[in-house]
Structure 1
């Protein structure tokens, strides 16, 4: 019996090879497979934050499934996939709790100056005459941009820390206990901390722009665990340099990996390398979701984590 042929998209997905090869034949995109091999591919395993070009889709006329290993799928043109009759699957919300934990960690690290404190101790700057004074978390106004699984998980954690929570998203969610702002700018103006946890799409690139940063203001903190392209990074650099924004804590960038020279000597900044959802537990759940989607597809059954959005 002929086994399905999979194309594995990115080198960092190589650890999946032994798992995938148990039931499929697998070729790797980074090995530059010949056109005849690409033309025989049945399914593509992809890291959804990476742009998936039309030329690669065109090279795989048998392709009927794009299985994103990741939760995000913003690099996939859903409209094109729909036109070609290609199903798109992802990992569901398997890392939402971990990303929410990371968001709160970034918030704490910045507001309580944990990174600065570490450097002070290691560098010998802590003396009997010095005392680092930081700001409380309780009572701080947290505005969450995007109230999906990550946003709601972050809100639950923030509520336990006695923060005051508001949110904004393009669609009302009447069942939520937290108030929705009329506009994104209003939310920023009424927040001490703005947490970006929205899903990226073609319509919201750069939505956290200079106007939103100015509304958050010189004492405000911007935290981004969504996607780098949601924030106008050039405007962010200017706002931080000129003191129009109080600080930023970023786990995602545009593009990735980010150019470190952009952040050299940047004030009031905490950075992590897109590691919010990268826990051993979440990666294990992502692998399980991937295998479940592949198994269902080749068995002609409904996909457990079918992407139903429109491109």
Structure 2
């Protein structure tokens, strides 16, 4: 287990607990009471830390190397039923954007999402979860396929942004994202969107137009990352914590601003501490959202979706 800087008190207590248990196993000394005392202290420390996280600390948790990525969620939700589909039928298959058919709770879904890597080699292979235009065009192709066969869509967002390289711009990065947003608004099947990690900029919006938009508790959703915001406003990354607070990018901020529909709770310590519980909770929210949407006619579905997004940004003084 890797620990973030603010998790070091937890690391110390877990190491103490492990040593205490080893002493009890290797000797005749009864250390049960001591182990219970350390464990109680560990639980109390975890609650104090995770119930009072700053915006920047939640950003750090969303990037935790042990946090489940999109394919982890897909395997946890669909098991062996997931069939990955490839290619945009125009340029190539973008490895940063994955998609395919799978069953969740007995219901078929078209599942699309950004995939990061687990180590240096796979991060390069997946381009760090930053999709090129062909990735967004692949996503759109799969969504239109789902529409043709009346299959609901689930999108899982986890990206630091769309790939900003020259070749991506040459192939129409902005047009591809804009086209997806336009087409998703008019898609004739239910769309359920979940931010499972980072939700940055247009890279997230390219698959982020949903009838139901949920955020896992320790994720963020914003037009720009705290580091980039800091570098623009203060010409330095040193103010990233201040930028994170100002951007109001946490799940609770997004819910308060009515930009997402609900926040999916995570196990104490984050999704990586108990993956199975996380996957089960995500499944419950997906099925709950789908059951609310499947009773709507196509006209009602699109009308509600358009109304949902046209209301965003309205304020009363």
TM tier, shorter chain?
A: 0.3 to 0.5
Q: What is the TM-score when the length of structure 1 is the normalising length? A: 0.33
Q: What is the TM-score when the length of structure 2 is the normalising length? A: 0.33
Give the structure with the larger helix fraction: 2
